[in-house]
Chain A
Amino acid sequence: MNTSDSEEEVCNERTALVQTQSPTLPNYNRDPDMDLPEEVEPKRRHRMAGETSSPGQPTRPASGRESSTETDEEELTLKYGAKHVIMLFVPVTLCMVVVVATIKSVSFYTEKNGQQLIYTPFTEDTPSVGRRLLNSVLNTMIMISVIVVMTCFLVVLYKYRCYRFIHGWLILSSLMLLFWFSFMFLGEVFKTYNVAMDYPTLVMIIWNFGAVGMVCIHWKGPLQLQQAYLIAISALMALIFIKFLPEWSAWVILGAISVYDLIAVLCPKGPLRMLVETAQERNEPIFPALIYSSAMIWMVGMANPPAAAEPSNQDTDEEMLQSERGLLEQEGAGRESPSLRGIGRSYSAEEEFEEDRGIKLGLGDFIFYSVLVGKAAATGGDWNTTLACFVAILIGLCLTLLLLAIFKKALPALPISITFGLIFYFSTDNLVRPFMDSLAAHQFYI
């Protein structure tokens, strides 16, 4: 069974594709733990490549690998790359579809009744364009600084090992999402479709939904259920943003948050980068509650014999990284080696995540993609704009993953997609829409 979360479990039949952390060849035949039948194929490659590491040394096979197997790994990388891109396309698409469907049918999320978040105190109800622009920029600055402060606070807490506080914070926020926001959502859906519902039934539905969600997200559960819940809470959060962020502020915030994401992940002193490096040093998983994990979790349980567990040869880091390029699905081995965790990551503005379980994407990315597409769907009745933003975001995600495969380090997932999305939103709304409308009116086809 594929389970989520961070427990070490025995590997399943998929470990054949995974380059294991077994000791070098002269030893492995004698070690019954290592000699699993599925590993014969990768071992054959080792033999063909030639074994150059010394027998007694429990190094990773990576250090003994030659360039021929590295090309295999490169090809493996790209082969798995396409699959991983699709593994991310599907949840991102689902989240966007949920948000767009809700926006188009439930009018609650597009009604503006003057309520705003406290993070965006300046109103946009002013007559002059300049004032409105100024207010939206101010709102953005406040929002971004709130996010920066929260992220830095999180990093500080993590550095000083206040895990309980962080867990409590995460549990509180997911409680709010799973219970309160979903209650609101359900209420609005019932209102829209005029469904009569009594409180006891509603309480039971919300209780079950929320409780199972808490268990799945924070503890253990079937992988697909966890993914579904993560998509659901991202969609709910995106809907809240769409409702409560004023028009222009929302667009400026989207732009600013991509810039922030870029800085936070790539700059040496960026909070997210520091967070990841700290997690790397400590060899710990980062909170699963904030990360969407796409791959099957097959764990290389047999790679955990305590004797071979501590790789202290930091000089082989680079080779290990190179060997693990192709091992996007490998998970368990990351437990031992800090360096193995450094395999290409994508980031979000608010959350961090790692890729030793296939591709991972932070929930913040889901949220902001959906906010962009949802706002495109909310303003005006034009489906072309929504479709264009959708395609633009998917292509941006594709490019980001391509860069990930090339650079093999943590990358922000927001900038490229949001940039494309914004460009396509504004140009489709202002340029393509009149053109297509005129064509449709005359029934001309291009």
Chain B
Amino acid sequence: MTVAVFFGCAFIAFGPAFSLFIFTIAKDPLRVIILIAGAFFWLLSLLLSSLVWFIATKASNADDTSLQRGLLIFGVIFSVLLQEVFRYGYYRLLRKANEGLAAISEDDASSISVQQMAYVAGLGFGIMSGAFSMINILSDSLGPGTVGIFGDSQYYFITSALMTLALTLLHTFWGVVFFEGCEKRRWWVIGVVVMLHLIVSCLSLMNPLYSGSLPPVYAIMVLMAAWAFFSAGGSLATIKQLCSRGPGQDSVLLSSMR
């Protein structure tokens, strides 16, 4: 507990997302707006899924713990599906907005590409998802207490932070891949993204058996990172360029990616 755990978990969970925000999004107002709207869409999906879960629990017997657990699992799966539906909805909205922006701009090209919007939207989803999962836990970690005093796992905070980090980055990668799939009309891509999201959530159902949930989730995250990288236009050549170029030449690399 205390401040050390608070800062440690906060930086683990939100460090990469925060740096991504500072370095790639904060300077461009349009991206900030897309980010916040993405967070809003995720929030809407959460609201609807909580509504469904709430109704289900109220309609059922509150004392039957296995039933409640079953309903919670149902809630998780329904929420995942709804999040993907809202991601698709956000994609449609962004496409329309993009067309609008392109139509009224001088050179018939909007100032932001679909890939960039995909990245920002994914990050918006990820940040909001991470924040909702982690913030209450973080605020509890500031105060006094002993973790796991009743026999629960001692590693609650750190595993929560690690899981939050994984999910935030996963949302970002899923956003990129999902939008790319929608753009190119490859519906199997969307199916795979949904499947992977379901798999990740179901892996978390194994908690507190952390060895069963965290390593596979991180493996999936690395795979998704590679997939998103190649889907966004990266290639082995660009990786080599990245490694061979010095610090001042990264802007060239960034501009070479669509």
Q: Which of A72, A83, A438 has the largest number of chain B CB atoms within 10 A?
A: A438
Least CB distance from B147 to A in Å reads 13
Q: Which of the segments A34-42, A169-177, A363-371, A389-397 contacts the partner chain?
A: A389-397
Q: Take A395-B40, A435-B54 as given contacts and tell me if A444 and B204 are in contact as well, using a CB distance cutoff of 8 Å.
A: yes
For the residues of B in contact with A, the DSSP-based class is helix
Q: Take A72-B106, A82-B29 as given contacts and tell me if A428 and B135 are in contact as well, using a CB distance cutoff of 8 Å.
A: no
Q: Which of B41-57 contact A (CB under 8 A)?
A: 43, 46-47, 49-51, 53-54, 57
- Mark contacts of B168-206 with chain A using CB atoms, 8 A cut-off: 1 yes-contact digit, 0 otherwise: 000000000000000000000000000000001100110
Query: Do B129 and A446 touch across chains, with their CB atoms under 8 A apart?
Result: yes
Interface positions of B (Cβ within 8 A of A): 29-30, 32-33, 36-37, 39-40, 43, 46-47, 49-51, 53-54, 57, 68-69, 72-73, 75-76, 79-80, 83, 101, 104-106, 111, 128-129, 131-133, 135-137, 139, 156, 159-160, 163-164, 167, 200-201, 204-205, 207-208
In angstroms, Cα B53 to Cα A1, docked, is 56
Q: Is A307 an interface residue (CB 8 A)?
A: no
Q: Is A439 an interface residue (CB 8 A)?
A: yes
Q: Is A74 an interface residue (CB 8 A)?
A: yes
Instruction: Determine which of A74, A85, A382, A392 lies in contact with B40 in the assembled complex, contact meaning CB atoms within 8 Å.
Output: A392
> Chain A contacts of B164 at CB under 8 A?
445
Number of A-B contacts (CB under 8 A): 120
In angstroms, Cα B206 to Cα A76, docked, is 53
In angstroms, Cα B51 to Cα A430, docked, is 9
Q: Take A86-B32, A394-B36 as given contacts and tell me if A443 and B159 are in contact as well, using a CB distance cutoff of 8 Å.
A: yes
> Chain A contacts of B75 at CB under 8 A?
435, 439
> Chain B contacts of A428 at CB under 8 A?
47
Using a Cβ–Cβ cut-off of 8 Å, how many residues does chain A contribute to the interface with B?
Answer: 40
Q: Is A384 an interface residue (CB 8 A)?
A: yes
In angstroms, Cα B32 to Cα A89, docked, is 10
Q: Take A395-B40, A434-B54 as given contacts and tell me if A85 and B104 are in contact as well, using a CB distance cutoff of 8 Å.
A: no
In angstroms, Cα B47 to Cα A436, docked, is 11
Q: Take A75-B106, A391-B36 as given contacts and tell me if A442 and B132 are in contact as well, using a CB distance cutoff of 8 Å.
A: no
Find the B residue at minimum CB distance from A396.
Answer: B40
Q: Is A150 an interface residue (CB 8 A)?
A: no
